[in-house]
Structure 1
Amino acid sequence: MRLNQIIITASATWFYSGKVPKAPGTAGSLAALPLGWILVIAGSNTTLLLATAIVFIYGVFVSDSYSKMIGIHDPGEIVIDEVAGQWLCLLAVPLSGSWMDIAWMLLAFVVFRFFDILKPWPISWVDRRVGGGFGIMFDDILAGGFGMILLALVSHFAEGFLK
């Protein structure tokens, strides 16, 4: 395998987390959480938002290249799209470096996977109709956006409850 193929594969599969035999999307979402948490704690939500945008743009190209390289449109092992979507969900929860971060990240994980797996409209429409790297990435961005809205509501109401 040539170096560029190794880089494309490692990127598209989020450092090979998408190569697990069962539930690669779930593995990719879990693999996204530690770095997402670090980006917020060491930086800010703005840092995570910028990283999400970078991963999305890079993911469009790398997922398109990987799917062409192996000859399958949107293969399950491409999980860089789950990374971008999962990080969007993390933007809506109050990460602070406390033990509560684990609960918030678990909730963000469950909510993102819910929308990513069930694909309510318009996510399902994008998944079926939009092709190439953009289509591979965009349905997960929508799932992350839906999750972000739900988590923002939960976070808002939890803030009042936890005080």
Structure 2
Amino acid sequence: MVKIIAQWFGLGRIKYAPGTFGSLGALPICYILILFPYFISQIFEYEYWKMFWIIFIVIELKLLILGYYSIGKFTVIVGVKDHKSIVIDEVIGQVISFAILFFLTISRFPSQYQDFISLPVFFYIFFISFFFFRIFDIFKPFGIRWLDKNIDGTTGVIIDDIAAGIIAGIISSILYRYFILNS
């Protein structure tokens, strides 16, 4: 089970670009992240954006717990700190990047969030966040490389992806608002 989670259901075993495929493995989680709060908000009459953040925190905490446990155990098994097949950290970072972009996008149109949960808009927003997350995860600018190189253990494996997700989410949100929503 540790291997399955660390390699995110086999995506980390893909020979070429396992991190990219691991990031794509976050796609169903991200769709659940936007859909589940919609249903909850309809049933219990909560505001969508409040439910979105509650669900995001729950999902992200579960991913962090699973990731921390599975990476720690898997690292001992393979004997390598950040084995290339470990991709749950990419899933964690990608979900963060998507959540920030999605929230900052819909916050501009809070009464129209139903339009943003359609599949075409979801895929569009997901792939914008995916593109920027992969850039920041691969090239590791803005201190991300320092985190990757200087923090040891499981925390070091995960923290650079969290930072890449936060920065990618913020920058993609700014660019999305400036170039897409204002056009």
Q: What is the TM-score normalised by the length of structure 2?
A: 0.79
Query: Is 1:23 the counterpart of 2:17 in the alignment?
Result: yes
Q: Map 1:78-157; keep pairs closer than 5 Å.
A: 78-91=86-99, 92-93=101-102, 94=105, 95-157=116-178
C-alpha displacement of 1:98: 4.3
Q: What is the TM-score normalised by the length of structure 1?
A: 0.88
Instruction: Give the AA of the match of 1:103.
Output: Y
1:10 pairs, out of 4, 19, 23, with 4
C-alpha displacement of 1:12: 0.4
Q: How many residues align?
A: 156
Structure 1 unaligned runs (5+)?
Answer: 1-6
Using the alignment, how far apart are the partners of 2:62 and 2:176 within structure 1?
26
Larger radius of gyration: 2
Identical pairs, percent: 30
8 Å CA contact 1:36, 1:48 repeated in 2: no
Specify whether residues 69 and 119 from structure 1 end up closer, same or farther in structure 2 by C-alpha distance, changes over 3 A only. Answer: same
Query: Is 1:35 the counterpart of 2:29 in the alignment?
Result: yes
Using the alignment, how far apart are the partners of 1:8 and 1:75 within structure 2?
14
Structure 2 unaligned runs (5+)?
Answer: 38-50, 106-115
Secondary structure of the structure 1 residue equivalent to 2:82: coil
8 Å CA contact 1:18, 1:77 repeated in 2: yes
Using the alignment, how far apart are the partners of 2:133 and 2:52 within structure 1?
18
8 Å CA contact 2:97, 2:129 repeated in 1: yes
After the TM superposition, which of the residue ranges 55-64 and 116-125 deviates more from structure 2? 55-64
8 Å CA contact 1:41, 1:96 repeated in 2: yes
**Equivalent in the alignment of 1:3:** none
8 Å CA contact 1:49, 1:88 repeated in 2: no
